[in-house]
Chains A and B, each alone.
Chain A
Amino acid sequence: MNTGYNFAYLDEQTKRMLRRAILKAVAIPGYQVPFGSREMPLPYGWGTGGIQVTAAVIGADDTLKVIDQGADDTTNAVSIRRFFARTTGVATTEKTVEATVIQTRHRIPETPLSDGQIMVYQVPIPEPLRWLEPRETETRKMHALADYGAMHVKLYEDIARYGHIATTYDYPVLVNGRYLMRPSPIPKFDNPKMDHSPALQLFGAGREKRIYAVPPYTSVKSLDFEDHPFEVQRWDQACALCGSTESFLDEVVTDDKGGRMYVCSDSDYCGERQKDQMQ
């Protein structure tokens, strides 16, 4: 553990500011609370929002897991995990069931979450209406009035053009029947896991300076239409390593002759299944 920094890198006043923002975010599920995002020792887009939320939440008794696109062993996950190991000395793990705090970039673990766990999502663009309305003053008003017609029009245009809703990740959801929320760029495959999850879900966007939250057991509904209900991706293949037909699969190109294989994006889930099969 590096003793040259305050616990979890940030100073206490910054943590208090973050904590107040987190509490208001939990009290207003899905609403984006502005906060004073600090400069972090890594660039925007690498999870500065998620790191600040984790730093405000984490304590000496926590066990931290960090995933990037489902995997524990990718660059972003390894460096963030090491960052917190160095600045807090907390235990880290790759096992979903052992973790009390899970910071994630773009996936929700396949293993069901449990009571008492906290998910921290890294968010690039928090505003679901941003590509439809660039002005912050206007989107803020649209949230105030719960005026989300524009998003339904966008999904309808997908249907008109492609015959189905073509949005596959960062699929907009309505939280607690009130706020339209970006679930961060998770595949829409993961959206159903957010609904009435027993875990507390916190979202941090560092560059955009917003924190939002979904408390446990809160309704998270993916937007859809009666005649075009929300559906998740399905694969014809099973995972080439563990044989799972339930998990989210990544396509891996294996040579330059068109060879490819499909493997679980969640490395912990896949590894545990392979271990079970060996026995």
Chain B
Amino acid sequence: MNALAPETGLLPGFSDPVAEAQKTFRAVLEATSRPGTIVTAPALPSAPAPLTPVAAALLLALVDYETPLWLDPAARQPAVEEYLRFHCGCPLVDEPSQAAFALVTDAQSMPPLSAFHLGSDEYPDRSTTLIIQVPNLDGGDNWRLKGPGIRDQAILSASHLPVCFKSWVRDNHALFPRGVDLLFAAPTQLAGLPRSTQLEG
């Protein structure tokens, strides 16, 4: 029972798990179905650093024992692992290619998108969903987006991403219907970039 009786002061998850998980899911659904839309996170649970409240809310809402989770090296802190094991009960995996979900807290040193599970032609839904923590959603280059969920054009400007991130996203889209799906978690907001979205220019 040691895993359930932490000595380090385990932080609580959602204060109202049913309603907050539902609201968080709807925010993710809005972000995924309308890429580029910046959605305000409806719940901000307390989270151990470097995990941010928005990223924690996404994990609490979507991850459980069925979904292997990959943490980037910066997030592999005992407090984070304990928090996720307790609240989500998810297996933590070492290989990005085995993950159903991946948490990136330090985007600058993240592996390329192609390192994650890309799904197969028969089962493209088995690919990884990445949750990438970013400091804001209006400080980066303006990416012009086109594709399903976008009426004419949408703009996304996530900041502090690796230099070659844009080309990774392009390569990811070129694999369609295979490919990973991205969720950006800013301090109070989130945005989505599913594989179906095309970058222009």
A: which residues have CB within 8 A of B? 6-7, 12-13, 15-17, 19-29, 31, 33-34, 56-60, 140-141, 143-145, 176, 178-179, 196, 198, 200, 213-218
Contact = CB atoms under 8 A, between A and B. Distances in A.
B18 A23 contact: no
B122 A140 contact: yes
B17 A12 contact: yes
Bin the interface of chain B by size. Answer: 35 or more
Contacts of A200: 29, 33
A33 B121 contact: no
B149 A59 contact: no
B26 interface: yes
Contacts of B124: 28, 31
Closest 9 CB pairs of A and B: A27-B194, A144-B121, A215-B149, A24-B125, A218-B148, A215-B148, A215-B33, A33-B125, A59-B22
Contact of A23 (B32, B34, B147, B176): B32
B177 A23 contact: no
A58 B23 CA distance: 9
A23 B181 contact: yes
B196 A29 contact: yes
Contacts of A19: 25, 28-29, 61-62
Contacts of B19: 7, 59-60
Interface string B190-201: 000011100000
B148 A217 contact: yes
Interface of B: 17-19, 21-23, 25-26, 28-29, 32-34, 61-64, 66-67, 100, 120-125, 127, 129, 147-151, 176-177, 181, 194-196
B59 to A, nearest CB: 11
A19 B134 CA distance: 24
Contact of A217 (B32, B62, B123, B151): B151
Contacts of A13: 64
A27 B195 contact: yes
Nearest to A27: B194
A168 to B, nearest CB: 27
A28 B32 CA distance: 11
Contacts of A216: 33-34, 148-149, 151
Which of the listed residues B18, B29, B122, B124 has the most CB atoms from chain A within 10 Å of its own CB?
Answer: B29
A23 B21 CA distance: 14
Given A17-B66, A29-B196, 18 more contacts: A12-B17, A13-B64, A15-B25, A16-B61, A16-B64, A20-B67, A23-B32, A23-B62, A24-B127, A27-B32, A28-B177, A33-B125, A56-B25, A58-B22, A141-B122, A144-B120, A178-B176, A196-B151
B62 A26 contact: no
A12 B121 contact: no
B17 to A, nearest CB: 7
A16 B21 contact: yes
23 contacts: A12-B21, A13-B64, A16-B62, A17-B66, A23-B28, A23-B29, A23-B129, A24-B181, A26-B149, A34-B125, A56-B25, A57-B25, A57-B29, A59-B19, A143-B122, A144-B120, A144-B122, A176-B148, A200-B29, A216-B151, A217-B151, A218-B148, A218-B149
